[in-house]
Structure formats: structure tokens, C-alpha cells
Amino acid sequence: MALAKIWDAPTVWNYLNGIVNVYKPAGLTVQQVRRTLIGNLCRDLNQLKVRPPLERIAIECGNDSNYIVRKMEDVSDNVLVVGPRYQNDDINIRMSANHGRLTSGVLVVGINKGLGTAYQIQRNRPLRVYHITGFLGKATDNHFGDSRVIAKATVAHIGTEKINRLLSSMQASHQKKMFELCGVDMQSQAAYDLAIKGTIRPMDNSQPMIYGIRLTDFRKPFFTIEMHAINETEAYMGQLIHEIGLNLKTVAHCVGIRCIRHGHFQLEHSLLRKDWNLQCILDSMAHSNNLLKQYPEMIRQSSSELIVLENHQ
């Protein structure tokens, strides 16, 4: 069966509800991404065919107490207007993660009726995977490359083996901490019962937790690690690179953060900035809808893990 092309804006608007996977470039804030998406959607919707504007009847009282009947344009038929700050009350957008300005990569966006779904995804705290690149030998004010250098150190003694040993130790430390937050011994049967239930999530949403961390690339002085985590922030990842440098008997700062996976949303399906248009966004919504059907736990996650953690605290 051939697919029919839809040219009228009202029909397209009715389909503009769901989740979109976009690629957030580094250097843009989440609010800037939101304004750009709203501006592009308004532009593309206004270019579609719209129904003729209706008129409304307004009855006003004149100066001589007579009533005046006027035909006026119905303002509800006006085009979607994008103001100076790219604000529009007709299109609602919510991000399921609060990436910082320096972070790039997968960003899950809810549009219109997809706001509730985006909230559920955020509430379920999906595991996110990052590639974080650090620079050895220099420390900065805020642990990122856009700040002034405050310290320097040698890096000749650092090799792949040392970094791997350190990362393994950090991962083991976080795993132990997860079970401590649950109030169980890591070597006990209770710990095993918790582990087989799936990802263990702490009740405190502000507590960053690392589930896996490994070295993926090392070209001195640059190194890249892959981190699986929840409740992480951009500042926390910058601090993590700083601590790695100190533990390696040198200093380091973060030069790049890229989110490559957000739950089951993959990097290869993210819309690049050049594709932030109405057609590509609708296609992404269809793909995301199939993904949510395939993995319903993203929005209907069982609370058994959280109840277990609550009982052990």
C-alpha cells in the first residue's frame, strides 16, 4: 500500500506528539536546543497548507450606549509566531536529561503529548553511557578546557596499564558503595538477590553512581574512558577526570563529553542539527515509538528494585 503525502498543517500537528532522539552539539545549552527545535517546527508548520481563517463576531458597547456588531479575525487561526527569544506557547518541549553546555550526544526530547513520556523516562533514571576525554598534565579552574590552567605536571610515568588498574579499582569501589546504600553485605545472599533483579538504583536521585568504567583510547596526553552511570552531571564528570589525574600522580582536565546512549536510545539514531526539521522529527518519533513498544520498561519500570532498597535502608 502506497503512503500518502500529507500537506495540511492541522493533520501534521495531530501527529506531532512523542519522543525525539536528537544529537546535542557541544557549546549549546539545553534551552538553546529547545528554542531551535521550536523555531524550526514553527517555520515548517507555517509552510504547510492551512485552512482559511475564520471570522468571529464581536459585540461592543458604543459611546452612546448602542451595541456595535463587528466581524473580526479569529486569533486562534494565526500562524505559529516565533518571538525574539524563540518562545511559543503552542509547542511544548521537555528534555529527559539536563546535559550541560559542554556535553554533546544523545538527548531525548518530548514534544507536546510526549512530555509525560519524557518525564517517565527521566523518573526511571535510565543508564547513560558516555565517552569522556581527558587531557593529562594540566589542571584548570573548573576541570574543563574552557578555563585557565592552574597547575602542570609530568605524564611520562603514565601508561595504559596504570589507567586500567585505577579504573577497575574505581568501578569496584562504586559497586561496593551501591550495596552499602542498600544496607547489605556485598558477599551475602541478599546482595546476590538484589543483583539478579537488574540494575540497582539508589533512592537518592542526587547520588551519582558508576556501573562501569573502562579505558577506550589512550594517546598521551589524551585519554578517553567509557562510563556507564546514573544521576551524573557535567560537573561530576569533570571532577572525575580531575580525580583520575590525581590518582595517577599527575593532574588532568576534561576536554570532551559525549553521551552515546540514553537507556535504549542510541547515538546512531540521533538527529543531527541539520536534520532538526518537521519531516525528520516525525520520522524520529515513529522510530522512538517502536523502541518504546519494544522496551516498555523505559516508561513502565517495575518499582521492585526501589522497594527492596527502601526495605534494606
Q: Considering only 50-54, 126-130, 247-251, which range has the smallest mean pLDDT?
A: 50-54
Domain 127-262, CATH class in plain words: alpha beta
Q: Given pLDDT bands bounded at 50, 70 and 90, which one contains residue 307?
A: very low
Q: Given pLDDT bands bounded at 50, 70 and 90, which one contains residue 64?
A: low
Contacts 24+ apart (CB under 8 A), 3-6: none
Residue 3 gets which letter from DSSP? P
Q: Are 270 and 31 a contacting pair, CB within 8 Å?
A: no
The pTM (predicted TM-score) of the whole model is 0.81
pLDDT value of residue 95: 85
Distance CA 37, CA 53 (A): 26
pLDDT value of residue 83: 47
More confident residue, 69 or 60: 60
Q: Which residues contact 181 (CB under 8 A, 6 or more apart)?
A: 202, 203, 204, 207, 309, 313
More confident residue, 72 or 193: 193
Distance CA 126, CA 232 (A): 11
Question: Above 50 in pLDDT, residue 178?
Answer: yes
Q: Which of 311, 303, 124 is nearest to 231 (CA)?
A: 124
**Domain residue spans of the chain:** 10-45+56-125+264-298, 127-262
Tens-digit pLDDT profile for residues 89-108: 568 888 888 889 999 999 99
Average pLDDT of span 121-130: 90
